[in-house]
């Protein structure tokens, strides 16, 4: 029998225990061995709960030779990094939902796992209940991945759906996302795009084989988006989504998180509420799209359990999951990214718009003093220059949002 320690008993950790005992028989069958949870480690007391007999400390679990797997669901870097590293060095598998830790230290922890012939697995770190990590390094491993793009944050997608479709206030929508256990402890990480950034960094690291660090990545959140942006986009046949994307270019990996216009015809356009959608574009397979619940207690817990089964079935280290820590020179300058743009401006006539922005496609139905339009493909650098010129001409640039082709 292999014993498990759950380190961190919040939304995900408690979900793991719930899913484990609900499906224990079939999990053991798939894992090919008997399993049980021996320790639950949490800063809060488990006294008076059904889990009281499992309460323990991290040091107890680490020193216990019966414990073969640690499930780290604490989140954040401290003490999760130290706990994970010491567990791997002690020859225990570590399974986590902690995207912050994987995005910051994934290459190192995977290396330690390899040296100790155990696994560091993190299916739950991206896409909640959607299997995406496993397909990316196994099923799609044969072909060359060219590009990944996805709606990777359930909270912001939920907020945008509720605000712009159901006319809820931002505060109400965020509160509901928090009540449902979707949001990060500090929801600024969701709203500012940081969470989506960590996730696209993890996917890019797997797909392209070198560690992509979140603090190298241009990241924009949803705070500046307005109902007017959404209406203008809709008039032109688009929806607006927060998109994390990564692709290979001649100048390096282009990785970015920002709100973007997506055609209403796109497979990503109808991904609403807490759902995530992830498109993987590969030379041989074409576009493959993964869809499902991107956050929430049980979907995320189910992804952790799938890693538990994998670790038990494989026994030793799974060699196909890993990437190099090739420094921070692998990422291209985001200003070299070229996309069409949607602008909303006021204080500029048609002639001035043409003078500054070149050939544009006007969007009908903008407010009277306002002009909304789509540009030809343009670099981030040129976009910054256009905004500068428009402001110098006395105009207000109300929004500048990328248009993506998926």
Listed ranges 183-191, 203-211, 312-320, 370-378: which one lies at the site for ligand HSE (CB under 6 A)? 183-191
The reply to whether 247 belongs to the active site is no
Contacts of residue 129, defined as CB under 8 A and 6 or more positions apart, other chains included, come to 292, 293, 294, 296, 298, 299, 300, 302, 303
Residue of 85, 199, 241, 297 marked active site: 199
- 327 CB-contact burial (10 Å; exposed 0-12 / middle 13-18 / buried 19+): exposed
The least distance separating ligand HSE from the CB of residue 186, rounded to whole angstroms, comes to 10
When the beta carbons of 2 and 258 are compared against ligand HSE, the nearer one is 258
Smallest distance, Å, CB 18 to ligand HSE?
Answer: 17
| Token duo for residue 34 | 């008997």
Q: Which of residues 224-253 bind ligand HSE (CB under 6 A)?
A: none
Per the CB < 8 A criterion, the answer to whether 159 and 177 are in contact is yes
**Residue closer to ligand HSE, measured from CB, 122 or 238:** 122
Candidates 20, 182, 291, 334; binder of ligand HSE (CB under 6 A) is 182
CA distance 240 to 222: 10
Number of residues that bind ligand HSE (CB under 6 A): 11
- CA 362 – CA 184 distance, rounded (Å): 39
Binding residues for ligand HSE restricted to 273-312, rule: CB under 6 A: 294-295
Alpha-carbon 228 to chain mean position: 26
User: Given the complex with ligand HSE, which of 128 and 380 has the nearer CB atom?
Assistant: 128
Cβ at position 155, least distance to ligand HSE in Å:
3
Site for ligand HSE in 47-86 (CB under 6 A): none
| Interaction residues for ligand HSE, span 138-157 (CB under 6 A) | 153-155
At its nearest, how many Å lie between ligand HSE and the CB of residue 153? 4
Sole window of 131-139, 178-186, 211-219, 337-345 interacting with ligand HSE (rule: CB under 6 A): 178-186
Q: Is 190 in the site for ligand HSE (CB under 6 A)?
A: yes
Whole-number minimum distance, CB 190 to ligand HSE, in Å?
Answer: 5
The beta strand positions in 183-300, using DSSP E, are: 218-219, 238-249, 252-263, 275-282, 286-293
Task: Report the alpha-carbon distance of residue 259 to residue 244 in Å, rounded.
Answer: 9
Closest CB to ligand HSE among residues 153, 306: 153
Strand-pair category, 286-293 with 378-379: unpaired
DSSP string, 92-127: -EEEE--HHHHHHHHHHHHHHHHHTT--EE-GGGSS
Instruction: Give the H/E segment covering residue 172.
Output: helix 170-179
Q: Is 123 in the site for ligand HSE (CB under 6 A)?
A: no
User: Which residue's CB comes closest to ligand HSE?
Assistant: 155
| 3-state helix, strand and coil shares in percent for the chain, rounded to the nearest 5 | 40, 25, 35
Residue 381 CB, nearest approach to ligand HSE (Å): 31
H or E, element range at 374: strand 370-375
Question: Could you say whether residue 128 binds ligand HSE (CB under 6 A)?
Answer: yes
Choice from 28, 195, 307, 310 touching ligand HSE (CB under 6 A): 195
Shortest Å distance, C-beta 182 to ligand HSE:
5
Cα separation, 308 vs 23, in Å, equals 13
Residues of the shown chain interacting with ligand HSE in the complex, contacts defined by CB under 6 A: 128, 153-155, 182-184, 190, 195, 294-295
Kindly list the catalytic residues.
Answer: 199
């Amino acid at each position: 029998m292999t014993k498990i320690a759950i380190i961190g008993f919040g939304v995900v950790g408690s979900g793991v225990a719930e899913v484990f005992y609900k499906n224990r028989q079939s999990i053991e069958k798939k894992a090919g061995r008997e399993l049980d949870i021996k320790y639950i480690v949490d800063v809060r007391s488990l006294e008076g709960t059904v889990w009281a007999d499992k309460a323990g400390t991290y040091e107890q679990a680490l020193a216990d030779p019966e414990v073969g797997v640690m499930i780290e669901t604490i989140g954040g870097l401290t003490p999760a990094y130290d706990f994970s590293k010491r567990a791997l060095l002690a020859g225990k598998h570590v399974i986590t939902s902690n995207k912050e830790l994987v995005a910051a230290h994934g290459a190192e922890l995977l290396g330690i796992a390899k040296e100790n012939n155990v696994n560091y697995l993190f299916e739950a770190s991206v896409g909640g209940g959607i299997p995406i990590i496993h397909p990316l390094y196994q099923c799609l491993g044969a072909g060359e991945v060219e590009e990944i793009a996805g709606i990777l944050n359930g909270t912001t997608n939920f907020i945008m759906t509720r605000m712009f479709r159901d006319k809820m206030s931002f505060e109400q929508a965020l509160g509901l996302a928090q009540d449902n256990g979707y949001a990060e402890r500090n929801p600024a990480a969701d709203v500012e795009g940081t969470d989506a950034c960590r996730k696209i960094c993890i996917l890019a690291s797997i797909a392209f084989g070198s560690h992509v660090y979140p603090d190298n990545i241009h990241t924009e959140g949803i705070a500046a988006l307005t109902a007017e942006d959404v209406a203008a986009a809709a008039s032109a046949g688009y929806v607006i989504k927060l998109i994390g994307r990564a692709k290979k270019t001649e100048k390096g990996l282009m990785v970015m998180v920002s709100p973007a216009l997506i055609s209403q015809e796109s497979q990503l356009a109808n991904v609403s509420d807490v759902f995530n959608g992830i498109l993987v574009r590969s030379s041989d397979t074409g576009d493959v799209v993964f869809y499902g619940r991107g956050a929430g207690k049980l979907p995320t817990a189910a992804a952790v359990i799938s890693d538990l089964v994998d670790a038990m079935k494989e026994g030793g280290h799974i060699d196909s999951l890993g990437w190099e820590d090739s420094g921070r020179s692998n990422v291209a300058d985001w200003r070299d990214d070229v996309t069409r743009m949607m602008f909303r401006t006021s204080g500029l006539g048609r002639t001035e718009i043409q003078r500054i922005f070149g050939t544009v496609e006007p969007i009908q139905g903008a407010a009277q003093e306002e002009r909304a339009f789509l540009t030809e493909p343009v670099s981030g650098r040129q976009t910054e220059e256009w905004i500068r010129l428009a402001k110098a001409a006395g105009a207000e640039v109300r929004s500048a949002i990328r248009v993506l082709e998926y």
